[in-house]
Amino acid sequence: MTVYREVLGFRPLELDLHLPSGPGPHPAIVYLHGGGWRRGSRRTTIPASLCPTLAERGFAVAAVDYRLSGEARFPAQLEDVRAAITWLRSEVDCAATFLWGESAGAHLALLAALDGGDVDGVVAWYPPTDLLGLPGDVDGAADVSREAELLGVDPAADPERARAASPLTFAHRNAPPILLMHGDADDLVPPAQSERLASALRAVGAPVELDLVPGARHMWTDARDVGAIVDRSVQFLRALG
C-alpha cells in the first residue's frame, strides 16, 4: 500500500504496486476499478485477482483508488487518475505507460487518455463512453443516479456537463491505441457505448479495436472464457511495447 496523492479535505489516495521480477524498464499499467464511480476499490474482486497476474506476465501494475462520487464530483476522479500516472512514472522505470480499466474505471481511463493524456495505450472493458446517450441505449430505462452523483446533476439537465465527462466528446486522430472489449449481452452498460466510441475514433483515423464478447454481460458474467479476454488484452498491450 502506498499513498500516491493527498488532497486537502479528503482521505489519502492509495495504490497497490505489483512489480514483475527482474530489472526494468517494464511496461507499466495504471489499473482503475469499476463500481459506478460510487463504490469499489483497488482491492475488489477483479483488480485483486488480475493485477498480480499481470505482474507475473511482466507488467508493473499500479492498482489505484480514486475519489468516489460520494466524496467529490467530477472532474476530481480524472485529476486523481492523472496524479496516479505521474506517480507511476516518477517511481517506476517505465518502458511504456498504459491505462486499463473496467466499467467506471474504463470510462476514466479513456477520458485520461483522450482529454490531454500522454499514455501509450488503453484497455477499456465495458466502458460508459457517452453519459448523455446512456439512457437511450437501454431503452430509456437506465438508472441515471450513478451519472447524476458523479456530475452533481442529471445528465439530461446539463448536457454540456455530461458531454465534458464523456470520452466520446474527445475522440481525435492523435489518440493512443485503444482496445474496447464489451459483452454483447451487457444490459447495465450496453455495447452501443463502446460501438459509438469506436465509430467516432475510426471516423477521425485514430487507432482503435473493438471486440464484442458473445453472450457476456457486465463484469464478464456469462462470458465463456474470461482467460481468453485477459489474454487478448495482454497481447494488445504487448504489441504496443
Domain boundaries along the sequence of the chain:
2-240
What whole-number distance in Å separates Cα of residue 58 and Cα of residue 103?
24
Using the CB atoms, write b or e for 225-234: b if 16+ within 10 Å.
eeeebbebbb
SS3 163: helix
pLDDT recorded at residue 138: 80
Grid cell of 11 as nine digits: 482521505
Backbone angles phi, psi at 5, to 5 degrees: -155, 140
Find the range with the poorest average confidence among 118-132, 133-147, 167-181: 133-147
Average pLDDT estimate for 178-205: 98
Query: Is the Cα torsion angle 220, 226, 230, 235 positive or negative in sign?
Result: negative
CB 182 within 8 A of CB 191: yes
Sort strands 60-64 and 13-18 into parallel, antiparallel or unpaired: antiparallel
pLDDT recorded at residue 117: 77
Distances (CA, A) of 151 to 85, 142, 185, 199, 228: 23, 16, 27, 25, 35
SS3 119: coil
CB 134 within 8 A of CB 148: no
* Residue with grid cell 456537463, as numbered in its chain: 161
Locate the DSSP E strands across the chain: 2-5, 13-18, 26-32, 60-64, 94-102, 121-125, 178-183, 208-213
pLDDT recorded at residue 110: 98
The 10s digit of each residue's pLDDT in 146-161 is: 999 999 999 999 999 9
pLDDT recorded at residue 140: 57
Grid cell of 96 as nine digits: 511504456
Mean pLDDT, the chain, rounded, equals: 95
What whole-number distance in Å separates Cα of residue 202 and Cα of residue 191?
17
Locate the DSSP E strands across 81-169: 94-102, 121-125
Rama region for 34: left / alpha / beta (φ>0; ψ in -120 to 50; rest)? beta
2-240 belongs to which homologous superfamily?
Alpha/Beta hydrolase fold, catalytic domain (3.40.50.1820)
Share of the chain above pLDDT 70, in %: 98
Q: Residue 136: pLDDT band by 50, 70, 90 thresholds? A: confident
pLDDT recorded at residue 5: 97
pLDDT recorded at residue 1: 85
pLDDT at 65 over 90: yes
What whole-number distance in Å separates Cα of residue 124 and Cα of residue 192?
14
pLDDT recorded at residue 87: 97
Average pLDDT estimate for 32-38: 97
Assess whether the previous peptide bond of 75 is cis (omega < 30° from 0).
yes
